[in-house]
Structure 1
Amino acid sequence: MSRVVTFGELLLRLSPPSHLRLTQARSFDLYYGCAEANVAASLSKFGLSVKFITAVPPNELGESSLSMLRSFGVEPISFIQGKRLGIYYFEQGASERPGKVVYDREDSSFSTLKKGMINWEDAFKDSDWFHWSGITPSLTLELAEICEEALTVASRMGLTISADLNYRPTLWKYGKNANEIMPNLVKHCDLLLGGIDDSEKVLGIKVNEKDTQEEIFSNWMNAFPKLKNIVTTKRMDANASSNGISASFWNGKELLHSQKYNISHIIDRIGAGDAFMAGIIYGMIAWPDDNQTALEFAAAATCLKHSISGDINLATVNEIKALMGGSGGGRVSR
């Protein structure tokens, strides 16, 4: 199977137990993960060979975070530098009370990476796929430039390139808007995960009220000629405890739709988009000529992630295939 490289920040997540609010917390459940790391761990669990490039501090938290990745079979390429691991606090929502994230990631080890530090030719050697997300270039201008550095080399070396736009408005604080930075990076992508709301805010492509999803995604492909496939997820009748979820796939010719899943008791929705991203990458590698099956695999993967605590999807390929085949409903597997 293919060898995948991902690049991003590894974070410590602290969550109050039992759906407590942050203001009530006297203890926290601890997890490691975030965006590209979640994708890396999930892909490795699916059986792919995965490298994850990051930076962590020379202390026990840095060591523990890398050990977590290795436990999933991911090969971390880590720069040991700086003084701290980035942190985020996640308050689980319930019913009509939404979840909440508080970031504490300024001056993290990852943010001290500089252009020229990473030998991208070596990092991409013997690899087929590079995945990144819009979170990394949102953190500092230097990291945006490092992303461009990586994407230029990956394109030259012929890797398939995917990205999750992952727009987080609270992270863009260094004087640039996402739509000033992201188009220059997205132009390298073959596969993109994003939604209609990202069009103007992230890609700088205007949307008219009457535009269909197909027209909007066609405009993306016209703006970025290398782009071959676009995927998006949709939540319906959503609150913090229950969602309907489905996904769509635009290949430039037809818009495919997955089956809809009704998730009635959400355990943890953090990482659901990353589970979908890992699912679509795996699906396109496993079924390169069957976009519908790849999409169904990704939709089932994100559905199962909602039942799993922590950032990382622990569902196996067989469990995801079983749900695709209609084996949901909570029966005990014996």
Structure 2
Amino acid sequence: MSRVVTFGELLLRLSPPSHLRLTQARSFDLYYGCAEANVAASLSKFGVSVKFITAVPDNELGESSLSMLRSFGVEPISFIQGKRLGIYYFEQGASERPGKVVYDREDSSFSTLKKGMINWEDAFKDADWFHWSGITPSLTLELAEICEEALTVASRMGLTISADLNFRPTLWKYGKKANEIMPNLVQYCDFLLGGADESENVLGITVEENATREEIYTKWMEKFPKLKNIVSTRRIKANASSNGLNAVFWDGKKLYRSQKYYVSHIIDRIGAGDAFMAGIIYGMITWPEDHQMALEFAVAATCLKHSISGDINLATVNEIKALMEGSGGGRVSR
């Protein structure tokens, strides 16, 4: 199956157990992950060959994080440099109390990467697909320039390029706004995950208040003519403990809508968007002409991720297909 390459930071996540608040915590549950790494691990679990490019420190945390990726079958291309692995703390929400993320990732090993360090031609050798997200260019101007370096090569080599806009306002601290940086990078993309609320903040595209999804995505494709497909997820009647979920897929001509799922007891919503992204990439590789099937697979994948602790979706292809076919409801599989 196709080889996918992803590029991003690998983080250590620390979460208080039992839905405690950070101010109450006396111990933490430890996980590794973050956007592009989560996509890589999930794709590998689906049977897709994946490389993940990152940088980690030369210590036990760096080695442990890479071992985690290898345990999923991901091939890490890692630069061992810098002094620390980035950290984020996640406080699980409950009911109407939202979850909260506190970042501690400044001066991480990943932030010390420089242009010219990565041989992108070698990285993309035998690859068909390159995935990145808006988190990486939000961290430093140098990383934004490295993203462009990668995208230029991937485009020249004919890879399908996807991105999750992943707008995180608290990360854009180096004097540039997302809509000053991201449009220059999105122009290389064939496939985009993003919502209407990111249109102006990330892409610099103003839309009318009552514009339909078709009208919004048509504007995106007019500004970025390389774009072939756009997907977006939606949470319905959502709080921190329960969500309704569905998604749409726009191919420039038709808007596909997925079935709806209702998750009544969320175990962990971190990584749900990454589970969707991995699902849609897998779907497009597996059923390239069946957009509805690809969309349904991705939504079922993100639904199951809400039941799994940690950043990475541990659901298998067969489990996701079973949910698509109606085998939910909490029955014991025997």
Match runs of 1:160-239 below 5 Å = 160-239=160-239
Q: How many Å separate the matches in 2 of 1:75 and 1:117? A: 18
Q: How many Å separate the matches in 1 of 2:27 and 2:129? A: 40
Residue segments in structure 2 that go unaligned for 5+ positions in a row: none
Q: CA deviation at 1:43?
A: 0.2
Task: Give 1:56's aligned amino acid.
Answer: V
Matched, 1:113 2:113: yes
Q: How many Å separate the matches in 2 of 1:127 and 1:238? A: 38
Secondary structure class of the residue paired with 1:102? strand
Instruction: Give aligned pairs, total.
Output: 334
Q: Give the alignment's Cα RMSD to 1 decimal.
A: 0.3
Secondary structure class of the residue paired with 2:226? coil
Tell me which residue corresponds to 1:286.
286
Tell me which residue corresponds to 1:47.
47
Tell me which residue corresponds to 2:129.
129
Matched, 1:12 2:32: no
Q: TM-score under structure 2 normalisation?
A: 1.00
Secondary structure class of the residue paired with 2:333? coil
Q: How many Å separate the matches in 2 of 1:224 and 1:297? A: 26
Match runs of 1:242-261 below 5 Å = 242-261=242-261
Residue segments in structure 1 that go unaligned for 5+ positions in a row: none
Match runs of 1:35-74 below 5 Å = 35-74=35-74
**Structure 1 residue runs of 4+, over 4 Å off?**
none
Matched, 1:82 2:70: no
Secondary structure class of the residue paired with 1:138? helix
Q: How many Å separate the matches in 1 of 2:191 and 2:96? A: 34
Tell me which residue corresponds to 1:155.
155
Tell me which residue corresponds to 2:103.
103
Q: How many Å separate the matches in 2 of 1:216 and 1:49? A: 34
Tell me which residue corresponds to 1:330.
330
How many percent identity over aligned positions? 88
Q: How many Å separate the matches in 2 of 1:191 and 1:5? A: 15
Q: How many Å separate the matches in 2 of 1:311 and 1:43? A: 14
| Cα-to-partner distance string for 1:251-277 (whole Å, 9 max, x where unaligned) | 000110000000000000000000000
Matched, 1:241 2:244: no
Q: How many Å separate the matches in 1 of 2:237 and 2:34? A: 26
Q: CA deviation at 1:210?
A: 2.9
Matched, 1:31 2:46: no
Q: How many Å separate the matches in 2 of 1:69 and 1:20? A: 28
Task: Give 2:165's aligned amino acid.
Answer: L
| Cα-to-partner distance string for 1:102-150 (whole Å, 9 max, x where unaligned) | 0000000000000000000000000000000000000000000000000
| Cα-to-partner distance string for 1:7-26 (whole Å, 9 max, x where unaligned) | 00000000000000000000
Q: CA deviation at 1:209?
A: 1.7
Q: How many Å separate the matches in 2 of 1:89 and 1:130? A: 28
Secondary structure class of the residue paired with 1:55? strand
Matched, 1:94 2:94: yes
Task: Give 1:75's aligned amino acid.
Answer: E
| Cα-to-partner distance string for 1:35-62 (whole Å, 9 max, x where unaligned) | 0000000000000000000000000000
